[in-house]
Amino acid sequence: MSATAAHGVADISLDEKKDLVLTTLKSIGEQYLQASAKRLQLETELEACKKGDLSEVELLSLPTVANHPKVAATMADISRLNGEMDVMRERYKSKHPKYVALERQIQSADDRLKTFLTEVVALLESTLQGVRSLELKLASQLKERENEALELEKLAVNYNSLRREMETDSAVFQSVLARLKEVDVMQSQDRPVLRFYQSAEAPKAPFSPNIPLILGGSAVGGLALAVALVMGLVMIDSKIRTVADAEQHFQLPILGVVGDEEDAAVSAPSGSSEGGEPKEAKVKRRRSYYYRQGNQESFRTLRNMVSLLGRKDATRFILITSAVPEEGKTFCSANLANSYAAQGTPTLIIDADLRRPALARHFPSDKDTVGFTDVLLGHVELAAAVRPADSSGGLYVLSSGSRVPNPGELLGNENHLSRFFKALQETGFERVVFDSAPLLPVSDTLLLSRLVDTVLMVAACNKTPIAATQSALKRLKAVDVKVSGLILNRFRAHSVSGYYYSSYYYRGYYGETQKPVLESA
């Protein structure tokens, strides 16, 4: 038995060694073929380079040159720097320091590449010498492995004879072993086959259904589904929620934040109580510039922020617009103009939304009042169309005027607009606020925006899609109009923001019972 086992071990070792030698022989053969092909390629490329008639582009097209680590790294740097230069051209002019520095980096990379290409012949000769040495080394190894394979094949003949003898002996051994097992089975038939060590017991609780497991799994699954649903809703939410959202998506300063007080209750006298005291009833009022002191302070802040954008003559004409209707641009225009007037600044507010004029909601006027369109058409002088907004004398209104069938063509007439702005320049108004049309539905605002000093964009929180405001800003940028800042309207007080705390502490310190700056119904 020991001799047979020894033969088996020797046979297995010989087979493994043959497999290893053949595998190595195959690998060395493949490497030798690759080295030969590489040598032929290098000889061809070297011959072409020695002629000296290849251009820089043709040299870079050679595989050996293109795949060299220095060339590949330099080409990657040039591609990256050119990409940065494309972005730099959109942001800066050619004499900007960053622009000039980037040009120097590109020139330095080009110089390194040209220097390397001048040494390409020496590079190819050095590489060819290394490949030839490798080819000779592989040929020597290949010859050694072939001789070793022949010697192993001679040994295999003797081992095959021994293996056949081992297989015969193994078959006889297995036959004897099977016969011995049959004898043992015949002798043990009288013994008991099964033994019971413990009696079976009925289960005290059902295996199925497992109520605690089902309830726990349902709770965990429901919680996971709720979390996934909330995350999905957050991901598909495309509206402005906070000041941080606006700053992140629009890259513009937030000049003002106006709270959402459309449904705020206002106290009004209603009859008398039992003690003769007038009792109060809660009523709802249309959102206008007659509302709580908290948002009046918001418009004072907006007024001061606009005033700090430049000199007084550089922020005289202010245009307020929005991306889509119903964002509160008229509301913000009226309150900003009112804030300037309350400061003692002669202010004029113009209803420049000729499609859907809404300024009359805040400043009631006669139905046939002349206004902006009549002044543009030359039917009436500007001084005759302007009227006081109230008895204080600080705020004046220019309504939209007579309805015209083609507002876009009227505003597109440069003679009408230039005559109108010249008349505005000659007036004594220190601030002129334009309530213009939304940007996305019509192009009226684009015609006006290039003639004013300051353009402000109104965006309604929790309503306006971010994509709509971004599209409106792109339209203004396309006509070279710079937006000075954003006004976030209908901002919810429960939002965690410094603007909420400012409004909260203002109401807590000054109280809610102060009268608004303008008083009327």
Burial code (b: 16+ CB inside 10 Å, e: under 16) for 395-414 equals: bbbbbbbbebeebeebbeee
Q: Are 302 and 256 in contact (CB under 8 A)?
A: yes
Using DSSP's 3-state secondary structure scheme, residue 197 falls into coil
* CA dist., res. 32 & res. 27, Å (int): 9
Q: Are 320 and 434 in contact (CB under 8 A)?
A: yes
Q: Which of 25, 30, 49 is nearest to 128 (CA)?
A: 49
Using DSSP's 3-state secondary structure scheme, residue 229 falls into helix
Q: Which residues pair with 347 in a beta bridge?
A: 395, 431
Other Cβ atoms closer than 10 A to 131: 21
Using DSSP's 3-state secondary structure scheme, residue 270 falls into strand
Q: Which of 371, 385, 376, 358 is nearest to 421 (CA)?
A: 376
pTM of the model: 0.50
- Own/partner pairs, 233-238, CB within 8 angstroms, 24+ separation: 238/465, 238/466, 238/467
Q: Are 73 and 95 in contact (CB under 8 A)?
A: no
Q: Are 106 and 81 in contact (CB under 8 A)?
A: yes
Angle at 262 between CA 257 and CA 263, to 5 degrees: 135
pLDDT tens for the 521 residues of the chain, in order: 444 444 444 445 677 777 787 788 788 888 888 878 877 877 777 677 776 666 666 666 677 666 677 777 877 887 888 887 888 878 877 778 878 787 788 888 777 777 776 666 677 777 778 778 888 888 888 888 878 777 777 777 777 777 778 888 888 888 888 887 777 766 655 555 566 667 777 777 777 777 888 888 899 999 999 998 888 776 666 777 778 878 888 888 988 888 876 544 333 333 444 444 444 444 444 444 444 445 788 888 889 888 888 776 678 899 999 999 988 899 999 999 999 999 889 999 999 999 899 888 888 766 667 899 999 999 999 999 999 987 677 899 999 988 888 888 888 888 999 999 999 999 889 999 999 999 999 988 998 998 999 999 999 988 888 889 999 999 999 999 999 999 998 887 654 444 544 444 444 444 444 333 333 32
C-alpha distances (whole Å) from 192 to each of 64, 259, 262, 308, 408 are 83, 92, 94, 106, 108
Give me the DSSP letters along 308-332: TTS-GGGGSEEEEEESSSSSSHHHH
Give phi and psi for 70, each to the nearest 5: -65, -40
Structural domains in the chain, CATH included, are 2-161 (1.10.287), 254-263+282-510 (3.40.50.300)
Q: Are 114 and 96 in contact (CB under 8 A)?
A: no
